Amino acid sequence: MKILLISPPRFKMIKSAFPKTHFEGHFIPLGLLYIAAYMKKEKDYNVKILDMLTARDYNKLDDTLKIFNPDLVGITSYTYELFGLTYLCKYIKNYNPKIHINLGGPHLTLYPDETLKFPFVDSITIGDGEIAFTKLAEALNINQIPVDIPGIWFKNNNQYIKNNSPAIIKNLDTLPFPDRSFLPQQYYSATAHREYPFTTIVGSRGCPYKCIFCTMSTSIYRYRSPSNLADEVEMLSKQGYKYLDFVEGTFNVSKKWVSNVCNEFISRNLTIKWLINGRVDIIDDDICNLLKKAGCDKIEFGVESFAPNNLDFIKKRINIKQIEDSFYLANKYGIKTNADFIIGFPEETIKDIKDTVKYAIKLNPNYARFCILTPVPKTELYQWMIDKGYFKRDYFQEYALNPSEDFAVIHCSNILTFQQLSKIIKWSYRKFYLRIGKIYEILFETKTLKEFFNKIRSSIRLLLNI
């Protein structure tokens, strides 16, 4: 059994979801590396990964299909890229209709029924892919119907078979570490990282918080033991990695876990640098001190807004004092900061947004990101918009059933159009970054040529978008 895992290319993504602002970079498809490592360890399967985010055109896919000739193809699915995903699946089925196509990833938690109805999809995986997808391969390998595999839904003679879902791996320590040797690391880079080579890593999955705009909380929160995590970090350090990006929604859910992780890193003398996504309410002097000593180089904080009514509306459960204290403490311990802001709240005016940007400048994080409040299906915000009559029906469901190129997201603002919001986002970036002091600060802290060029590339994109 030959298995090909694909991370899809950016192709005709929903335009109204994200205005083009800056270059984030190319990250490894960590979920697929986890699945590949598990399949190799458990069954020694012949697995390949094709990252079409880096190999952007279809020639590489043609070559891989021809040379590798897979029996089973698994593809990561994002809601905002459904049109491109259907194109990719049809392309593979056109090449060889016998290839079994399984879709997994974040979109399947949102619209499993709709996705299974696609004629070119044979099965789907809901939740964690490692065990479920491996069991699917085992069943297909011996021509068995994949019944009783939690997380796997499939078609059998026009019948839909839905096993229990989602697949949740409770003890993350039982998983082998993601095998990064499946992909050439030189393709991966990002503006946010200061040293190379860098890679992504997770200490936990899911999130216990319930911010109304976010889908991370749809997955149960689980975390790795500090020693298991430190084993992977130690291995990566020995492999020559210089920087790690913890990509889970929130790294600092519990002070106790963060302290234990930091102490484990410190006791093993791990000098590798890393960045985390953090909440401002779980930051204090001791935690900041430990984070710094353990190698934390940067915290990306979800600030979202400085208006208490907005923070209440999105159920962020943080306050202005916690925001300001966290930035003060991170700065005190020499940890770089990024502040994420949301604009486009229902009643927010241009003046309110300009005040947010003024606040961002006053807060003085090293970096800031601005994005538009976007109602994602199956979130409380999306339901709120249905209840308030912004749209009459689950309009995303229609797109999930029949993705079209010209689909547009309905935003929350009662005052501003998407075009106006996009324009003000670009203005916000310019206002925040195009200041002599900020430019000097960013260039001054740039450590490598690669980081320098990534920043130049982002700046050019920013300027071209003016």
First CA to last CA distance, the chain: 51
Contacts of 304 (CB under 8 A, 6+ apart): 310, 311, 314, 316, 340, 341, 342
Q: Which does 279 bind (CB under 5 to 8 A by kind): ligand B12, ligand SF4, none?
A: ligand SF4
Counts of helices then strands in the chain (DSSP H, E): 17, 17
Whole-number minimum distance, CB 312 to ligand SF4, in Å? 14
Q: Residues 100, 107, 224, 279: which binds ligand B12 (CB under 6 A)?
A: 107
Residue 203 interacts with ligand B12 (CB under 6 A): yes or no: no
**Contact partner, 302, from ligand SF4, ligand B12, none, Cβ < 5-8 Å per class:** ligand SF4
**Shortest approach of ligand B12 to residue 35 CB, angstroms?**
6
Hey, which residues does 5 pair with through a beta bridge? 49, 74
Determine the Cα–Cα distance for residues 206 and 208; give it in Å rounded to an integer: 7
Binds ligand SF4 by CB under 6 A, chosen from 111, 198, 209, 395: 209
> Are the C-beta atoms of residues 87 and 220 closer than 8 Å to each other?
no
Cβ distance 249 to 272 under 8 Å?
A: no
By CB under 6 A, tell whether 34 contacts ligand B12: yes
Task: Tell me the closest approach of the beta carbon of residue 109 to ligand B12, in angstroms.
Answer: 7
Interface pick for ligand B12 out of 191, 199, 200, 204 (rule CB under 6 A): 200
Per-residue contact track with ligand SF4, 240 to 269, x per CB under 6 A? ---------xx-------------------
Q: Which one of residues 54, 102, 189, 459 is an interface residue with ligand B12 (CB under 6 A)? A: 102
| Eight-class DSSP state of 177 | P
Work out what residue 412 binds among ligand SF4, ligand B12, none; the CB cut-off runs from 5 to 8 Å by kind. none
Q: How far apart are CA 406 and CA 385, in angstroms?
A: 21
214 binds ligand SF4 (CB under 6 A): yes
Phi, psi of 437 (to 5 degrees): -60, -45
Is 348 an interacting residue with respect to ligand B12 (CB under 6 A)? no
Q: What is the Cβ-side half-sphere exposure of residue 175, based on CA atoms within 13 angstroms?
A: 31
How far is 50 from 383, CA to CA, in rounded Å? 36
Q: Which entry of ligand B12, ligand SF4, none binds 133, CB below 5 to 8 A by partner kind?
A: ligand B12
| Alpha-carbon gap, residue 140 to 70, rounded angstroms | 13
Q: Are 333 and 288 in contact (CB under 8 A)?
A: yes
Q: Can you say how many angstroms the Cα of residue 154 is from the centroid of all Cα atoms in its chain?
A: 26
Place of tokens 């992909």: 183
CB 187 within 8 A of CB 54: yes
In the list ligand B12, ligand SF4, none, the entry touching 217 (Cβ below 5 to 8 angstroms by class) is ligand SF4
Least distance to ligand B12, CB of residue 200, Å: 5
Q: Which does 74 bind (CB under 5 to 8 A by kind): ligand SF4, ligand B12, none?
A: ligand B12
Note the residues at the interface with ligand B12 (CB under 6 A).
7-8, 10, 18, 24, 27, 29-32, 34-35, 53, 74-76, 78-81, 102, 104-107, 110, 125, 128-130, 133, 200, 202, 214-216, 247-249
Note the residues at the interface with ligand SF4 (CB under 6 A).
207, 209, 211, 214, 216-217, 249-250, 279, 302
